[in-house]
Structure 1
């Protein structure tokens, strides 16, 4: 045992970094941090939690800085002197924020994330056929049909858009479901679907300038999905979960299929829309920085780090005392193996973040 040592000491820094960046499970990175002070220091110094989150969700490349609310960050910065000490405080803060974020991002999520409607590119009969009707899962309420209808067009290539505000400024979106409307009150009960759909996610701009009249900035644009001319809730699963930063989702309805008999014009009608995913609030929020489009990622230390409507997460009934006993057991296990590495931790000098305590279990 006395001949054994930390194998990272036998490797150059680039090789070690290449090995650790191959880890794609946050739990593995937590275990790395629990091995020794030197390994944990290496994870923090190289921003491995941040790198993992960026691989999981490229939308995070727009993060300009991270902030911890209800944290003694100002006191920390006031107590450090050199620029290197300040840099280390920043690295530790990013380590904490991104480690909690990775857990929130990896949790199972399933909820309808639409909070409000923003608007439609056109509406045939307002307010009877407004976009607000798409929030109702039923296509008929009492004796009234519930749906949104576009204006009629003779050109089948004229697109339409439906824009929604999500439940928070930072959400993970996995799937968008759309049900075209079937007009049972018309001859032949036609279905007014689009040929295909595409999804955009982003945020509203703070102001408009003379050369740019777009009111939204998009951080993600999906591939185009074909749409069936069927009266059912059609599911469009994104290739990968997407982090919507800014809380705005727009559905592009591309191509018109159904012509209305009474006027010979082409329409698109939708009875219901669902946006499935999860909100990362109140634990996380963002401040958009204009005009750059970057943002400040904020974590509230007092809030639960898990998304709304998660499954498979830790039960709220787990007491603090039980968590403390579990952590002590882990420390005991690692101490029993401390001969494996030369730089095993010292309990008085090495502290595991609360997140790492939970995740390592």
Structure 2
């Protein structure tokens, strides 16, 4: 034991700091801060948790300050080997906040983060073919085929935008999953796809409601300008397949404000009757880690900065979400729907009248 030495005491501070910044796993930095009081003090004073979080999520550079529920007592600060001061209290609060945040962003359960749709650029037939249908995993709901349909356009480069409110105003998004709509009831079962997709995340400029007036009409320029986009992804080419297409982001993105927009670019399919180019979407899923109720945010306008709030001093775990329906499930649904069309069935719009006469498995029911 006499031969042991602490390199933090022997090496220059900058060299020691350089060494510890190589710890990129939150669990490793947690272990380092638990070695001794001197190591913990080094981690706190140099803001290593904050540096780690900034490397993980550049969006945190917009944090104005951290607000914590509980202040550090004078006794705790004296025991840590430091006199009480406002600066030290701030360092302790940041250390606690960013250490919790780093662990929450890497260890909490990944689940579907969509709460509800906010607006859509266009809808061909509201409400039967509205954006609300994209939240339904099943392709048949209440005896109707479930999908969103845009208005037809002669120009293939017209972009469609679907905007959603997430379940949390502060969450980490890892991937967006989209299932295009396969029109079983049309000749050749066409796929109403687009050439590419792009994703934006951000927050509203001010309080806004969600109502049918935004969902039923064309997407106004004023509505688009109500959001501040703090992240824009690359363009992802869309595979021409009738399955759940997964778009994994290159790095997890911290969405501050809880607004996500899907931008659909390049129409490729014409409607059977009208002949115009349309886009149809069956299902949208946003996978990520909500960070409440442990954390909250307050957007500071007009600067765009935000206050990071600690609501709980421990991580709150979420229940696991139902799994995504498998490819086999959708294949069974396709076979089932084709069976409906192959028998004498009266179709009124998209309504299947004789659906009860078809035998269904327990899972499909």
Given the two structures, how large is their TM-score scaled by the length of structure 1?
0.78
Counterpart-to-counterpart distance in 2, 1:227 and 1:136:
21
Structure 1 residues 35-85: Cα deviation after superposition (integer angstroms, max 9, x where no partner): 22222111111100000111111111111111112x146x87xx99xx982
Counterpart-to-counterpart distance in 2, 1:202 and 1:310:
26
- Count of residue correspondences: 302
CA contact (8 A) 1:281 1:307 kept: no
Q: 1:13 is matched with which residue? A: 13
Q: 2:168 is matched with which residue? A: 168
Counterpart-to-counterpart distance in 1, 2:198 and 2:8:
47
Greater RCO (Cα-Cα under 8 Å, separation 6 or more): 1
Q: 2:154 is matched with which residue? A: 154
Query: Is residue 257 of structure 2 the alignment partner of residue 246 of structure 1?
Result: yes
Cα offset, 1:110, TM superposition: 2.4
Counterpart-to-counterpart distance in 1, 2:206 and 2:18:
40
Counterpart-to-counterpart distance in 2, 1:109 and 1:32:
25
Match 1:231 to one of 216, 220, 242: 242
Which has the larger displacement, 155-164 or 9-18? 9-18
CA contact (8 A) 1:278 1:309 kept: no
The two structures, once aligned, show a CA RMSD in angstroms of 2.4
Judging changes above 3 Å, is the alpha-carbon distance between structure 1 residues 58 and 296 closer, same or farther for their aligned structure 2 residues?
Answer: same
SS state at 1:272 partner: strand
Cα offset, 1:309, TM superposition: 4.0
Structure 1 residues 150-202: Cα deviation after superposition (integer angstroms, max 9, x where no partner): 11111111110111111111111111111111222222221101111111111
Counterpart-to-counterpart distance in 2, 1:137 and 1:30:
39
Query: Is residue 196 of structure 2 the alignment partner of residue 196 of structure 1?
Result: yes
Judging changes above 3 Å, is the alpha-carbon distance between structure 1 residues 97 and 10 closer, same or farther for their aligned structure 2 residues?
Answer: same
Given the two structures, how large is their TM-score scaled by the length of structure 2?
0.77
Instruction: Report 1:194-343 matches (<5 A).
Output: 194-206=194-206, 214-301=225-312, 304-309=314-319
CA contact (8 A) 1:110 1:309 kept: no
Cα offset, 1:5, TM superposition: 3.0
CA contact (8 A) 2:293 2:312 kept: no
CA contact (8 A) 1:200 1:249 kept: yes
SS state at 1:92 partner: helix
Gaps of 5+ in 2: 209-221, 322-365
Instruction: Report 1:120-135 matches (<5 A).
Output: 120-135=120-135
Structure 1 residues 275-334: Cα deviation after superposition (integer angstroms, max 9, x where no partner): 1112111011100111111111111136x41452479xxxxxxxxxxxxxxxxxxxxxxx
Structure 1 residues 118-176: Cα deviation after superposition (integer angstroms, max 9, x where no partner): 11111111111110010111122243111101111111111101111111111111111
CA contact (8 A) 2:7 2:16 kept: no
